[in-house]
Structure 1
Amino acid sequence: MRHRRAALRALLGVGLLALLAEPVAAQTSINSELISGLNLDLLYVAIPITILVEGILIYTVIRYRADKVDEAKPTQENRRLEITWTVATAVILLFVGFAAYQVLGVAAVGGVTASTNPNAQPAAVTEDFDGAIGPNPEETNAVQIDVVAAKYFWEYNYETENGTVSGTSTAGEALKIPTDRPVYLHITSTDWLHAFHVPDLGLKQDAFPGQYNTIKTVAYEEGSYQLYCAEYCGVGHSGMLGQVDVVSSEEYEEYLDSKQSEE
């Protein structure tokens, strides 16, 4: 009885940890929302499996410990059990695959190229490279920003009605994006491989020289978020940092106007 109580307490402890694992913070962007949602769905599947496996393990250790068993007995074939766990595993894998596909098929996570509308608007970029994908026709308020990686800084080129305005991380400038509007970031490089990574916004994309990789986001929360280069790119890699400021749409337009007046 004492051992059963210990096993029950252990299982209850695992269940309590599972309840505490659910994130409560508001999501900062559609990207982080989709990724967190997928992780949560997979967690709901993994927790019962973990409790079941740990419960069987604890029961087996207690039930068949050395002082309770005279001698080991060979296992016997149980086709019903083998069929059950094979089918259960297949169902779990199908669920994981379907859930992952549902998220990876969204442009904000799986990439714009894979899900773009063939009638999409032309991409607003500063270089004549392949790979950049423009907004869908219905996204009339979309923002396009050309993000260029170089050793060891970031350059941001903003599309405006009157041309392009630019900013760089070397000048201490942040990449500005507005809230609640589709934002298309066209990522490229001037020299070799880099990677654009803003963990708190759920954004990550490789920057290749001679081509564009477009990522899409819709930011929800205003604030400042750390930008990293996530691909080792040489001696200055650790210092290749930047900042992404998510601001209101009005503040974003005011920023572009001020940049135009400077130029």
Structure 2
Amino acid sequence: MLSGGLRGKWVRACAGGALSMALTCTGVAMAPAAVAQTATATCSTDSGAKGLASSPVAGTLVSVERADGRIAQLQLFYDATATGGLPFVWHREQNGPGGAYGGWQRVSAATVGPKSYAMTALENSAGRMELLFSTYGSFCHTVEDDGAAGGWSAVDAFGLAPTPYHGGVVLFKERDGSIDAFASGAYGAGSMELRHQQDATAGWGPTRSMGQVPDAGVGLSQPSSVEQLPDGRLHVAAREWNRDRTWEIWQSAPGGGWGPWQLTAP
């Protein structure tokens, strides 16, 4: 899990569309390859839980700035009536910019955990919040839907499934309002995977690989930084999960493929 300070930086980065880092490089164009989904975990639910916010899970509060200036908050809560002992995602929002928060409402009966309690959210081009959370080695997805029971769409498997201890999913909003979801590759060490949403109507595209790190035995964590360069290309940096080395990669063209992974200077 990210610390409170780092989580705040990621939320601001997602809302603003860029992290400041002045780096340039020329990469070799490579078309992103679609990843075969050989095993996608279903989103586990605990239908026996009565929907009580019995106690919060420490360190899980996530704040998301909305386009209208309000702040939405998401947090994990344990439910004393749950049969599996895993927490659930709850949601509340300010009534107006700078105003008081409404009451906590449970998003769904889907459980979070057990090995990773990662959770992230971002407002899409239609002004609805996209929510991702970890469950049993994969990430689940739901989006705000006023017409659905509870105000959220049915929870479904998102496809990204980072190896345990390699971090969670990082969401990034580009200047045109499109969204990227990055995570350490589930199958094969030293890779990163990506899904892209051009707009809310189009939905999420397929899971694609950003290529393999050239060194053997490398396992990447979630991206430590994502930025959009002045020319529209993306730059991603990720630290190895068990070693103090960082790799970076540049998009070959806006919305295009990716060059090779390169080891940053110490």
Q: Which has the higher strand share?
A: 2
TM-score (norm: length of structure 2):
0.25
Question: Max radius of gyration: which structure?
Answer: 1
Q: Which has the higher helix share?
A: 1
